């Protein structure tokens, strides 16, 4: 496949490492109590947002949910503005008013993330409808989790998108859990999400969300379908979060997840998979990966310093950005 080339894969690795290292630093520094918002880390789930970000442009739109750090950074969001947002500073992408779950940056087409499960799905469909009406050549990405498909508005949005032929890609990151509840206690055991969506007459695929080649192939298939036909596509990517649902820690001691399951997904770390592929192809080596990583960690450190130095929003600006 021509898109699986050195340039694209290096770009994707860069994004994956940026997302991983940033979340690891958030985890490390969270106990300083200067990030005064809940955080939902995506460690283990870096592949999908990196691929989506690598193959969409700034003019394409994107909405997301509570677990949106990776989606924002993958789409090319500013690292400094992101970290500043976590610190509640005026230099944050949402001017320090949103925190981790309310990121927005129109400069990169990241319209917004919101904390209410499924809440951003109809917003994304509406955005995409407006692109269609205005004749804009852009697609909209709607990120959602496996729990999102349990909300009524998900089905209303799917139905509207197919009936109105809306150029949207639903990207479902199925990490098998909603907080501590596995899919098996929430949905019929043998009902697959992508098949259920197919029954709504929407083109729908499933892939392993940690295997970069699979993710690229399915995302590009979806993108070219949406661009040619102007109709919605649904992608289910199976993946796994390593850390606790909300917060900076591991939660293995709670035993709601089988240790073997976690081990399986850690063995299939998307970053290891991509690095090994790049090394095997001789497109990168241990040293060039090391250099990439150290330039990323330097950037992250600078972003934290910038956030800490930045001022809090002024009291008199409290109502400044409200619609009147």
Ligand X SMILES: Cc1ncc(C[n+]2csc(CCOP(=O)(O)OP(=O)(O)O)c2C)c(N)n1
Nearer to ligand X, 104 or 148 (CB): 148
Please name the residues in contact with 17: beta carbons below 8 A apart, sequence gap of 6 or more.
Answer: 271, 292, 293, 296
Q: Which of residues 285-304 bind ligand X (CB under 6 A)?
A: none
94 binds ligand X (CB under 6 A): no
CB of 315 to ligand X, least distance (A): 29
Q: Which single residue brings its beta carbon nearest to ligand X?
A: 145
- Can residue 104 be called a binding residue for Mg ion (CB under 5 A)? no
Q: Residue with structure tokens 């990966």?
A: 289
CB atoms within 10 A of CB 287: 8
The answer to the question of residue 185 lying near ligand X (CB under 6 A) is no
Per DSSP, the three-state class of 89 is coil
Structure tokens at 14: 């860069």
> Which of residues 89 and 241 has its CB atom nearest to ligand X in the complex?
241
* Torsional class of 269: left (φ above 0), alpha (ψ -120 to 50), beta (otherwise): beta
Cα distances (angstroms) measured from residue 149 to each of 19, 89, 287 = 25, 34, 43
Stretch that binds Mg ion, among 47-55, 168-176, 186-194, 258-266 (CB under 5 A): 168-176
Q: Considering beta carbons, is residue 149 or 202 the nearer one to ligand X?
A: 149
The residue among 43 and 83 lying less far from ligand X, judged by its C-beta, is 43
Q: Contact with ligand X (CB under 6 A): which of 10, 66, 80, 81?
A: 66
Q: Is the dihedral of CA 306, 307, 309, 315 positive or negative?
A: positive
Instruction: Give whichever of 56 and 175 is closer to ligand X, judged by the CB atom.
Output: 175
Q: Give the containing element (helix H, strand E) for 304.
A: helix 286-309
Residue 115 binds ligand X, judged by CB under 6 A: yes
Q: Is 146 in the site for Mg ion (CB under 5 A)?
A: yes
Q: Select the residue interacting with Mg ion from 98, 145, 167, 232 (CB under 5 A).
A: 145
| Residue 68 near which of ligand X, Mg ion, none (CB within 5-8 Å, type-dependent) | none
Which span sits near Mg ion by CB under 5 A: 13-21, 92-100, 142-150, 155-163? 142-150
Q: Which long-range contacts (CB under 8 A, 24 or more apart) does 187-193 make?
A: 187/149, 187/150, 192/236, 193/146, 193/149, 193/236
Cα 65 to Cα 242: distance, rounded to the nearest angstrom? 18
For Mg ion, the closer of residues 88 and 145 by Cβ is 145
Q: What tokens were used for 252?
A: 């293995």
In the complex, what is the shortest distance from the CB of residue 248 to ligand X, in angstroms, rounded to a whole number?
Answer: 15
- Residues 6 or more apart whose Cβ sits within 8 Å of residue 39: 26, 30, 69, 86, 100, 246, 247, 248
Rounded-to-integer distance, Cα 255 and Cα 238, Å: 21
Binding of ligand X by 270 (CB under 6 A): no
The single residue among 50, 148, 218, 239 that binds ligand X, judged by CB under 6 A, is 148
Residue of closest CB approach to Mg ion: 145
The least distance separating ligand X from the CB of residue 138, rounded to whole angstroms, comes to 25
Q: Which does 292 bind (CB under 5 to 8 A by kind): Mg ion, ligand X, none?
A: none
Residues that bind ligand X (CB under 6 A): 66-67, 115-117, 145-148, 175, 177-179, 245
Residues that bind Mg ion (CB under 5 A): 145-146, 175, 177
């Amino acid at each position: 496949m021509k898109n699986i080339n050195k340039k694209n894969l290096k770009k994707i690795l860069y994004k994956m490492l940026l997302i991983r290292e940033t979340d690891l630093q958030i985890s490390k520094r969270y106990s300083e109590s200067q990030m005064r918002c809940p955080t939902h880390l995506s460690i283990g789930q870096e592949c999908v947002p990196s691929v989506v970000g690598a193959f969409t442009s700034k003019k394409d739109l994107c909405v997301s949910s509570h677990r949106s750090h990776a989606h924002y950074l993958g789409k090319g969001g500013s690292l400094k503005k992101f970290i500043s947002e976590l610190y509640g500073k005026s230099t944050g992408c949402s001017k320090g008013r949103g925190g981790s779950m309310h990121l927005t940056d129109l400069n990169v087409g990241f319209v917004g993330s919101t904390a209410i499960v499924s809440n951003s799905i109809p917003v994304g469909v509406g955005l995409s409808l407006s692109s269609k009406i205005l004749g804009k050549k852009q697609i909209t990405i709607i990120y959602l989790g496996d729990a999102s498909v349990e909300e009524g508005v998900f089905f209303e949005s799917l139905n509207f998108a197919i009936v109105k032929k809306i150029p949207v890609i639903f990207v479902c990151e199925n990490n098998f859990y909603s907080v501590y509840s596995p899919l098996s206690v929430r949905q019929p055991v043998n009902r697959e999400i992508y098949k259920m969506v197919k029954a709504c007459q929407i083109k729908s695929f499933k892939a392993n969300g940690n295997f970069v080649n699979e993710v690229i192939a399915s995302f590009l298939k979806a993108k070219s379908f949406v661009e040619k036909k102007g109709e919605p596509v649904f992608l289910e990517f199976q993946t796994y979060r390593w850390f606790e649902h909300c917060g900076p820690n591991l939660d293995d001691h709670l035993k709601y997840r089988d240790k073997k399951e976690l081990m399986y997904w850690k063995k299939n770390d998307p970053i290891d998979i991509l690095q090994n592929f790049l090394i095997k192809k001789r497109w990168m080596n241990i040293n060039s990966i090391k250099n990439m990583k150290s330039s990323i960690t330097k950037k992250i450190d600078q972003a934290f310093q910038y956030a800490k130095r930045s001022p809090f929003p002024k009291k008199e600006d409290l109502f400044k950005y409200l619609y009147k």
